[in-house]
């Protein structure tokens, strides 16, 4: 709704019970100013509510210029600069007639409370503090050590998969927070590179990722939020500008790039999981920060931490991240020791309230590593199960993490100065720049000189001093590249002059004189040592020649002795061989004689055996012939004796046959003879089949194939 005259009149009449407006309208709109101080409005005004009250503290840092000395503030470009109205609310709020003020904030540290009360001109007795529960057990925090530079944003290549594996519709709704507006574009570029969709960052209607920051037009902001809320785009690359006054229930994952204010990180991570489901907060943090605290030893003992120390402490602490953010919100510091009494107390409080076990990267490092190894496979459908048990998810070989090999552009150090000389040059450069800095900006400069030129830059110059000053050549372009470019006009010339003045100074000249004297001493000492070594060499050569001659004589004697021993051994071997040959020859002759005698005995035995066999065979043949002859005689004799009997039997048989034939003729029994006549046969065993012949009871009867009976008178045996 637009604030106009009609709206103002409705407000005065009490048509609205709640008026929602921005700090800028509250302070800078003349129409609302007139409304605010009118009697009608003051009579119906019952409560002033300030949401995101911590912004009053942040803008107070900007207004007082304290933010310029804080690295933490420069890392979040849109954190408070775009809402300066929060810093001037006090003058307007105090103009009410004891109207109560309700300040709401989820991240309000003790120092913030103190600054807010001062800005709003409130007394401690005027404040009633109501602490709510800020713990978000449904959000899993994972701190990831960055492997690439913060400005490159290449670590995002580790969490996004190509678009052919996971579509935009299946991607988890996500916000990626960056520190600067330029980095939001770099984030889009890297994400599209990981998804194999190059140049899509230039498409304002891209279906996967859009960006949102303080300079984004109101129309684009509205379109981005509408598309994200409707599910048309799953990822937003944003600064802190996205968050104030937003209730994005669709967000399931928040990614924060780089170290930052723990309170701001808590605000950003708190954007996920607002629908009651689990959420994931990925905190990508650099392992080291220039001029920062990068190890436990860099922190002072105690709980007093400024904002930069809090930022670095969150990057290195081993304490539970959930507890660390809670203690930072309550007491204004990030604990580094797990045995901190407040850490133990907070853990006991969470357990007493029945909060689920924390699964942050400090409490469950193995599960956090497993989650990061398969995070490319994360989709809307498997998001809950992957967060609950990432170690049960098997790595899909189709998801290959993209990496980018970067070339080193550093200059290789060639400084040959000893350490004390190099350190003196470093200090000289630093002191010279400090003088130039204060002359350039005045004695009350807002930043210390080391912010622009410190030990690191001085060491870079000294490390390559032989290249910066090669004889009479002044390589100012290399000098400028070594320090990353000049911060102020004339800085390179001042540093070059400082190098010249130092080289012309007493310390360096004394070093040069020392080097010259050392060179002369080394040369003289070298000559002396070479002469001494030459004399020693002659003695050693003579001794060596003597030793060589002795060795040669010894070797000759040894060779002669070895030759004699070898000759004796060969002679003994020949004699032994001759003896062995004679023995072997005699043995062979004896063996041959024995074999010859044996063969002769065998020949005689075979001859005798053959003679015996021939005699036996001859005798057997004679006996067989005699037996055969005797047998034949017996057969002939038997035949002669049986012949009369056979003849009588044949005659009787013939007579019997004739008698039977006669009897058959009388009886009429005939045998068909195939048309050749018939015959009468009285033999009852004669059948009609002419091919059958039967002889029974010793009767000699023959029946031919034509049915003729023949007589058996002429049979012979």
Map 210-272 to HEC letters. Answer: EEECCCCCHHHHHHHHHHHHHCCCCEEEECCCCCCCCCCCCCCEEEEECCCCHHHHHHHHCCC
CA separation for the pair 234, 252 (Å, rounded)? 10
Q: What is the pLDDT of residue 87?
A: 65
Q: What is the pLDDT of residue 79?
A: 52
Q: What is the pLDDT of residue 80?
A: 46
- Give 391's contacts (C-beta < 8 A, 6+ positions apart): 366, 367, 370
| pLDDT over threshold 60, residue 682 | no
Q: Are 234 and 168 in contact (CB under 8 A)?
A: yes
Which residue is listed with tokens 């065979």? 617
pLDDT grade, residue 586 (50/70/90)?
A: very high
DSSP state of 395: P
| pLDDT over threshold 80, residue 443 | no
Q: What is the pTM (predicted TM-score) of this model?
A: 0.56
pLDDT grade, residue 254 (50/70/90)?
A: very high
Average pLDDT, integer, range 312-324? 93
CA separation for the pair 431, 454 (Å, rounded)? 10
First to last CA, the chain: 159
Question: Which stretch, 55-59, 301-305, 472-476, has highest mean pLDDT?
Answer: 472-476
Please state the φ and ψ torsions of residue 311, each to the nearest 5 degrees: -60, -45
3-state SS of 328-376 is: HHHHCCCCCCCCCHHHHHHHHHHHHCCCCCCCCCCCCHHHHHHHHHCHH
Q: What is the pLDDT of residue 712?
A: 44
Paired strand residues for 282: 142, 255
pLDDT above 90: percentage of residues in the chain: 41
CA separation for the pair 177, 261 (Å, rounded)? 13
- pLDDT digits 0-9 by tens, 464-488: 888 888 777 888 888 888 888 877 8
| pLDDT over threshold 70, residue 78 | no
pLDDT grade, residue 228 (50/70/90)?
A: very high
| SS3 of residue 136 by DSSP | coil
Which residue is listed with tokens 């804080």? 70
**Sign for the pseudo-dihedral over CA of 581, 584, 589, 595:** negative
Q: What is the pLDDT of residue 104?
A: 87
pLDDT grade, residue 112 (50/70/90)?
A: confident
Average pLDDT, integer, range 384-402? 89
Picking from 138, 112, 76, the residue whose alpha carbon sits closest to that of residue 270 is 138
Specify the CATH number for 139-392; select among 3.30.1330.10, 3.40.250.10, 1.10.1740.10, 3.40.50.300. 3.40.50.300
Q: How many CB atoms lie under 10 A from the CB of residue 363?
A: 19
| pLDDT over threshold 50, residue 166 | yes
The number of C-alpha atoms within 13 Å of 150 and in the hemisphere containing its C-beta is 19
Between these two residues, 715 and 288, which has the higher pLDDT value? 288
pLDDT grade, residue 717 (50/70/90)?
A: very low
The number of C-alpha atoms within 13 Å of 560 and in the hemisphere containing its C-beta is 5
pLDDT grade, residue 199 (50/70/90)?
A: very high
Q: 501 vs 212, 421, 452, 470, 496, CA distance in Å?
A: 51, 14, 22, 16, 9
Structure tokens at 196: 């194999």
Question: Which stretch, 36-45, 68-77, 541-550, has highest mean pLDDT?
Answer: 541-550
Q: What is the pLDDT of residue 411?
A: 59
Average pLDDT, integer, range 650-666? 88
- Give 493's contacts (C-beta < 8 A, 6+ positions apart): 476
- Give 440's contacts (C-beta < 8 A, 6+ positions apart): 488, 490
CA separation for the pair 92, 520 (Å, rounded)? 81
Please state the φ and ψ torsions of residue 395, each to the nearest 5 degrees: -65, 125
Residue 7, judged by CB atoms within 10 A of its CB (0-12, 13-18, 19+), counts as middle
pLDDT grade, residue 85 (50/70/90)?
A: low
Q: What is the pLDDT of residue 410?
A: 54
pLDDT grade, residue 554 (50/70/90)?
A: very high
| pLDDT over threshold 90, residue 545 | yes
- Lowest mean pLDDT of 66-80, 175-189, 388-402, name the range: 66-80
| pLDDT over threshold 80, residue 713 | no
Please state the φ and ψ torsions of residue 575, each to the nearest 5 degrees: -60, -45
Q: What is the pLDDT of residue 55?
A: 76
CA separation for the pair 711, 702 (Å, rounded)? 7
Between these two residues, 195 and 27, which has the higher pLDDT value? 195
Q: Are 293 and 299 in contact (CB under 8 A)?
A: yes
pLDDT above 70: percentage of residues in the chain: 87
Q: What is the pLDDT of residue 489?
A: 84
* Domain extent listing, the chain: 5-126, 139-392, 419-507, 643-717
| pLDDT over threshold 80, residue 128 | yes
Of all helices (H) and strands (E), which one includes residue 177?
Answer: strand 174-177
Q: 469 vs 74, 425, 494, 516, 525, CA distance in Å?
A: 36, 13, 15, 19, 31
Structure tokens at 334: 């990030």
Strand 671-672, strand 678-679: pairing: antiparallel
CA separation for the pair 71, 672 (Å, rounded)? 153
CA separation for the pair 367, 23 (Å, rounded)? 44
pLDDT grade, residue 707 (50/70/90)?
A: very low
- Give 191's contacts (C-beta < 8 A, 6+ positions apart): 156, 160, 176, 208, 209, 235, 237
Please state the φ and ψ torsions of residue 244, each to the nearest 5 degrees: -65, 120
pLDDT grade, residue 160 (50/70/90)?
A: very high
Q: What is the pLDDT of residue 553?
A: 93
CA separation for the pair 13, 511 (Å, rounded)? 88
- pLDDT digits 0-9 by tens, 485-525: 877 888 899 999 999 999 889 888 888 898 889 889 999 99
CA separation for the pair 430, 428 (Å, rounded)? 6
Between these two residues, 496 and 416, which has the higher pLDDT value? 496
Give me the chain's average pLDDT, please. Answer: 83
Q: What is the pLDDT of residue 147?
A: 87
Strand 469-470, strand 678-679: pairing: unpaired
Q: What is the pLDDT of residue 696?
A: 41
Between these two residues, 415 and 347, which has the higher pLDDT value? 347
Q: What is the pLDDT of residue 196?
A: 93
Average pLDDT, integer, range 343-367? 93
Q: What is the pLDDT of residue 60?
A: 57
Q: What is the pLDDT of residue 245?
A: 62
Q: Are 221 and 60 in contact (CB under 8 A)?
A: no
Strand 235-238, strand 139-145: pairing: unpaired
| pLDDT over threshold 50, residue 575 | yes
- DSSP states of 607-676: HHHHHHHHHHHHHHHHHHHHHHHHHHHHHHHHHHHHHHHHHHHHHHHHHHHHHHHHHHHHHT--EE-TTS
pLDDT grade, residue 26 (50/70/90)?
A: confident
**Sign for the pseudo-dihedral over CA of 324, 329, 330, 331:** positive
Of all helices (H) and strands (E), which one includes residue 384?
Answer: helix 383-388
Q: What is the pLDDT of residue 369?
A: 93
Q: 671 vs 155, 666, 684, 697, CA distance in Å?
A: 133, 14, 12, 22
| pLDDT over threshold 70, residue 533 | yes
| SS3 of residue 63 by DSSP | helix
């Amino acid at each position: 709704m637009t604030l106009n005259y009609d709206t103002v009149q409705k407000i005065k009449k009490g048509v609205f019970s709640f008026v929602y407006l921005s700090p800028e309208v509250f302070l800078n709109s003349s129409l609302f100013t007139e409304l605010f101080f009118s009697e009608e409005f003051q009579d119906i005004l019952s409560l002033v509510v300030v949401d995101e009250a911590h912004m009053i503290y942040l803008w107070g840092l900007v207004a007082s210029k304290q933010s310029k000395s804080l690295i933490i503030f420069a890392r979040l470009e849109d954190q408070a600069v775009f809402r300066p109205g929060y810093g001037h609310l006090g003058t307007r709020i105090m103009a009410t007639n004891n109207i109560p003020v309700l300040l709401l904030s989820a991240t309000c540290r003790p120092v913030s409370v103190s600054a807010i009360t001062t800005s709003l001109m409130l007394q401690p007795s005027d404040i009633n503090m109501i602490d709510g529960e800020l713990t978000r057990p449904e959000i899993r925090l994972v701190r990831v050590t960055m492997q690439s530079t913060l400005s490159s944003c290449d670590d995002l290549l580790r969490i996004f998969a190509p678009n052919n594996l996971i579509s935009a519709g299946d991607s988890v709704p996500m916000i990626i927070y960056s520190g600067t507006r330029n980095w939001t574009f770099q984030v889009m570029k890297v994400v599209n590179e990981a998804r194999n969709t190059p140049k899509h960052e230039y498409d304002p209607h891209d279906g996967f990722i859009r960006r949102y920051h303080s300079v984004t037009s109101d129309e684009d902001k509205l379109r981005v939020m509408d598309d994200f809320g409707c599910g048309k785009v799953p990822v937003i690359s944003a600064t802190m500008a996205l968050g104030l006054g937003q209730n994005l229930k669709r967000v399931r994952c928040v990614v924060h790039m780089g170290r930052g204010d723990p309170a701001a990180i808590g605000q950003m991570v708190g954007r996920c999981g607002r629908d009651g489901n689990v959420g994931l907060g990925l905190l990508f943090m650099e392992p080291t920060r220039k001029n920062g605290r990068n190890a436990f030893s860099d922190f002072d003992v105690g709980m007093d931490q400024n904002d930069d120390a809090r930022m670095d402490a969150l990057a290195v602490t081993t304490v539970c991240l959930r507890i660390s953010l809670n203690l930072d919100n309550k007491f204004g510091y990030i604990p580094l020791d797990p045995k901190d009494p407040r850490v133990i107390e907070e853990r006991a409080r969470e357990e007493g309230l029945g909060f689920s076990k924390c699964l942050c990267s400090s409490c469950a490092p193995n599960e956090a590593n497993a989650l990061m190894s398969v995070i490319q496979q994360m989709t809307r459908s498997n998001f809950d199960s992957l967060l609950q048990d990432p170690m049960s998810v098997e790595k899909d070989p189709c998801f290959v993490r993209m990496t980018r090999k970067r070339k080193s552009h550093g200059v290789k150090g060639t400084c040959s100065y000893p350490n004390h000389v190099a350190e003196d040059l470093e200090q000289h450069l630093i002191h010279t720049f400090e003088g130039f800095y204060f002359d350039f900006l005045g004695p009350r400069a807002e930043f210390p000189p080391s912010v622009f030129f410190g030990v690191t830059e001085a060491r870079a110059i000294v490390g390559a001093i032989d290249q910066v000053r090669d004889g009479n050549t002044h390589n100012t372009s290399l000098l400028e590249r070594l320090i990353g470019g000049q911060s102020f006009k004339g800085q390179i010339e001042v540093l070059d002059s400082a190098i010249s003045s130092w080289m012309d100074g007493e310390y360096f000249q004394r070093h040069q004189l020392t080097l010259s004297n050392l060179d002369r001493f080394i040369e003289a000492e070298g000559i002396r040592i070479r002469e001494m070594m030459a004399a020693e060499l002659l003695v050693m050569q003579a001794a060596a020649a003597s030793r060589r001659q002795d060795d040669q004589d010894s070797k000759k004697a040894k060779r002669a002795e070895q030759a004699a021993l070898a000759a004796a051994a060969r002679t003994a071997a020949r004699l032994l061989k001759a003896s062995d040959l004679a023995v072997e020859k005699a043995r062979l002759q004896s063996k041959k004689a024995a074999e010859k005698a044996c063969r002769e005995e065998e020949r005689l035995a075979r001859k005798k055996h053959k003679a015996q066999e021939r005699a036996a065979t001859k005798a057997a043949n004679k006996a067989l012939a005699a037996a055969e002859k005797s047998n034949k005689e017996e057969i002939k004799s038997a035949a002669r004796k049986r012949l009369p009997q056979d003849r009588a039997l044949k005659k009787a048989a013939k007579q019997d046959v004739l008698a039977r034939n006669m009897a058959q003729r009388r009886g009429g029994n005939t045998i068909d003879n195939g048309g050749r006549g018939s015959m009468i046969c009285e033999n009852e065993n004669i059948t009609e089949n002419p091919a059958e012949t039967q002889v029974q009871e010793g009767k000699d009867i023959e029946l031919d194939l034509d049915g003729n009976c023949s007589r058996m008178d002429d049979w012979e045996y």
